[in-house]
């Protein structure tokens, strides 16, 4: 019997993203990297997701340089990133040549494992990224977005896992971004996945509703091979359950869940100091560390509920809150039950608010919802009523197949557009994904280089 349980440490990516809005600069964790490298993790989730955008937009950091530096300080641990399928680490669908180049460069610069998902669980939107990951020699992990709806069930998750296996993924991750995965569901789904696809199973959840520890324990009992956890100082609440705690509990239960205790202790102490500073500056708001069970009552993610509240209070219509909560599942049903994750959670929520405030359903429809109904985001998980679709789109044509099939190759065009402002293919990719942010980062970098240059010549002159 294989009783080994492996850990993916999320402090540098998901914990960072969930607790401090991805504002942790490289300099915060630089000194602890050699210790993280010795802890015995299966992998260190350290890149992708929102970190790429945040480096360029808020931290004046080159995301590629960050990756290279982590690689250098962690030669012994697998480095992992999160990739939103055809959206990469951005917010729209990119042409295949950009997807392939981005994956290739990620692996070249140090990534060992790429976890790939699509917000609609549409296999077409992860195929190219999975293919290129395998070609580049990295591990492709297919992630299933967990959600609660009348059409999402054991069979649908197993079906998706089998499709993923067919396109060649090396591992399967059950990804619960909202923290609503219960111990029973975790057990049943992991068991079904273990029985139907012979691949390592990973479970990813958040402790938002307090279910996280129980869900991970149940998942391990059902045979999960790897669990995602965060070092205690950055664990809990909207982040992952704590690494040390899970390791302790599982060891006691007889699982081989050992990590280097001394290393974990040092990592925990190190991040406690950073957490204290983030508390004091207000970057880390204590509310995100508390337990919010509302998501269980309404079966929609906590982040979406707070969005609804802020949209309604901004127009002084909090009196409509209960009505909007009733409207939300109806809109979601009409849209074919998309998982309530970015960007669908925002789109469904805004439509429910609009429908309620105007009192005339779909009298105002966002461009995003129109694109979604045209099929630009992929195939919705459930059926959409044809009459409903027509009432919004009229006779506008539907996209058959994959949206990215209609996108022309863009890399060479972007390369000549940016010219010598880009110093490397990595710069070209930064610009392809976040043009404005990349350009202002290049400006910053150039001015910094000049400063260093002047300084180094100063002593010669004197």
Q: Which residues bind Co ion (CB under 5 A)?
A: 14, 177
Inter-residue contact 302 to 238 (CB < 8 Å)? yes
CA distance 71 to 151: 42
CA distance 209 to 262: 30
In the bound state with Co ion, the residue whose beta carbon lies nearer, of 205 and 437, is 205
User: 329: how many CB neighbours lie within 10 A of its CB?
Assistant: 18
φ/ψ of residue 144, rounded to 5: -95, 120
Q: How far is the CB of 37 from Co ion (least distance, A)?
A: 23
Q: How far is the CB of 244 from Co ion (least distance, A)?
A: 19
Q: In terms of Cα–Cα distance, which of 292, 290, 377 is closest to 335?
A: 377
CA distance 192 to 159: 11
In the bound state with Co ion, the residue whose beta carbon lies nearer, of 210 and 425, is 210
In the bound state with Co ion, the residue whose beta carbon lies nearer, of 177 and 181, is 177
In the bound state with Co ion, the residue whose beta carbon lies nearer, of 81 and 177, is 177
In the bound state with Co ion, the residue whose beta carbon lies nearer, of 178 and 331, is 178
- Closest residue (Cβ) to Co ion? 14
Q: How far is the CB of 238 from Co ion (least distance, A)?
A: 9
Inter-residue contact 16 to 234 (CB < 8 Å)? yes
Q: How far is the CB of 17 from Co ion (least distance, A)?
A: 8
Q: How far is the CB of 85 from Co ion (least distance, A)?
A: 15
Token pair belonging to 3: 């009783």
279-317 in b/e burial notation, b at 16+ Cβ within 10 A?
eeeeebeeebbeebeebbeeebbbbbbebbeebbeeeee
CA distance 23 to 46: 13
Q: How far is the CB of 179 from Co ion (least distance, A)?
A: 9
In the bound state with Co ion, the residue whose beta carbon lies nearer, of 14 and 127, is 14
CA distance 425 to 431: 10
In the bound state with Co ion, the residue whose beta carbon lies nearer, of 100 and 175, is 175
Token pair belonging to 308: 């609804």
In the bound state with Co ion, the residue whose beta carbon lies nearer, of 79 and 331, is 79
In the bound state with Co ion, the residue whose beta carbon lies nearer, of 8 and 86, is 8
Q: Which residues contact 49 (CB under 8 A, 6 or more apart)?
A: 13, 14, 17, 22, 81, 82, 89
Q: How far is the CB of 412 from Co ion (least distance, A)?
A: 35
CA distance 373 to 389: 7
Token pair belonging to 222: 């059902």
């Amino acid at each position: 019997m294989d009783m080994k349980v492996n850990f993916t440490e999320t402090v540098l990516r998901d914990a960072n993203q969930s607790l401090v809005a991805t504002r942790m600069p490289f300099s915060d964790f630089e000194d602890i990297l050699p210790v993280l490298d010795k802890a015995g993790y299966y992998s260190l989730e350290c890149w992708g997701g929102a970190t790429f955008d945040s480096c360029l937009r808020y931290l004046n950091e080159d995301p590629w340089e960050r990756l290279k530096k982590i690689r250098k300080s962690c030669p012994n641990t697998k480095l992992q990133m999160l990739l939103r399928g055809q959206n990469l680490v951005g917010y729209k669908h990119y042409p295949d040549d950009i997807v392939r180049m981005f994956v290739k460069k990620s692996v070249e610069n140090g990534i060992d494992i790429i976890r790939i998902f699509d917000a609609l669980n549409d296999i077409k939107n992860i195929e190219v990224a999975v293919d290129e990951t395998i070609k580049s020699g990295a591990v492709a992990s297919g992630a299933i977005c967990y959600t609660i709806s009348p059409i999402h069930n054991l069979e649908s998750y197993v079906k998706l896992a089998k499709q993923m296996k067919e396109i060649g993924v090396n591992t399967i991750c059950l990804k619960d971004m909202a923290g609503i995965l219960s111990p029973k569901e975790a057990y049943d789904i992991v068991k079904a996945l273990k029985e139907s696809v012979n691949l390592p199973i990973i479970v990813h959840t958040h402790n938002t509703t307090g279910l996280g520890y129980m869900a991970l324990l149940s998942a391990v009992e059902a045979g999960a091979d790897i669990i995602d956890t965060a070092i205690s100082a950055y664990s809990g609440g909207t982040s992952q359950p704590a690494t040390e705690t899970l390791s302790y509990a599982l060891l006691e239960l007889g699982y081989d869940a050992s990590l280097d205790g001394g290393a974990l202790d040092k990592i925990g102490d190190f991040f406690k100091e950073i957490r204290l500073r983030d508390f004091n500056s207000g970057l880390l708001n204590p509310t995100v560390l508390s337990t919010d069970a509302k998501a269980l009552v309404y079966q929609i993610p906590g982040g979406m509920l707070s969005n609804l509240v802020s949209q309604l209070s901004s127009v002084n219509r909090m009196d409509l809150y209960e009505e909007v909560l009733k409207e939300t599942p109806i809109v979601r049903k009409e849209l074919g039950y998309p998982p309530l994750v970015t960007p669908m959670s925002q789109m469904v929520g805004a439509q429910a608010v609009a429908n309620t405030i105007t009192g005339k359903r779909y009298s105002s429809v966002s461009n995003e919802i129109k694109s979604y109904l045209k099929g630009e985001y992929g195939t919705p998980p459930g059926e959409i009523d044809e009459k409903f679709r027509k009432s919004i789109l009229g006779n506008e044509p539907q996209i058959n197949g994959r949206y990215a099939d209609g996108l022309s190759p863009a890399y060479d065009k972007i390369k000549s557009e940016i010219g010598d402002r880009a110093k490397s293919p990595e710069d070209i990719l930064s610009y392809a994904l976040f043009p404005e942010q990349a350009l202002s980062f290049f400006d910053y970098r150039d001015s910094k280089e000049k400063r260093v240059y002047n300084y180094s010549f100063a002593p010669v002159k004197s």
